[in-house]
Amino acid sequence: MGLWDKLTGTERPAHDVPKLSADEVRERILALNRPTAPYQIIDGSAEGVDLIAEWKIVDAQWYEIFAKAGLEKVFRIRMKFDPNDHEVRTKDEEFEVSWEAGVPTLSLSASKKMGQTTSFQFGTRYGFTEEFRPGEIYSYRFSTGEIKDPIQDVVKECGWTWKGVAFGKL
């Protein structure tokens, strides 16, 4: 792995891993979706990409958790498949979130980051529990790795490269 790969977050498969088709890679990435995950992977054709992975910020099951945590930024990954080079080219996006009466309102961040994004948000809230004793009410941790790592692993298991794009188009 060269310096540029490290800066862009590019991950390469082992040399002996067979290369699967783009359709198989897509299916395996989409198979990462599950109800208990705080992220979702959706079709990105409406935005000119193959797939998009993002926090479930507007999902009814999850937005209360994100609101309580005071999440201020939403992370998403835009993915485009390059079957000729066996690459999943990726670009990270970040949106700012404001909360009105516990409901999320998304707005595009004024700043644009180049390259790949890594961020962590975590915390614990204390107060009176249901037993009317002081204690931990909830604890949370949101990391871009929770979305990125499983997808990168699948891409490499399929014999493809996860190519972080810092400049230019996907």
Up-side HSE of residue 77: CA atoms within 13 Å toward CB?
30
* Per-residue pLDDT, 96: 65
Judge whether residue 67 has pLDDT over 70: no
Residues 52 and 170 sit within 8 Å (Cβ to Cβ): no
* Per-residue pLDDT, 56: 76
Cut 0.85: pTM above it: no
Judge whether residue 102 has pLDDT over 60: no
Query: What is the average per-residue pLDDT within 46-65?
Result: 75
The rounded percent of the chain whose pLDDT value lies above 90 is 39
Task: Mean pLDDT check: name the lowest of 17-31, 78-92, 115-129, 133-147.
Answer: 115-129
- Condensed to tens digits (0 to 9), the pLDDT of residues 110-154 reads 334 444 555 545 445 556 556 666 766 545 455 677 889 999 999
pLDDT tier, 83 (very low <50, low <70, confident <90, very high otherwise): very high
Judge whether residue 62 has pLDDT over 90: no
Judge whether residue 165 has pLDDT over 60: yes
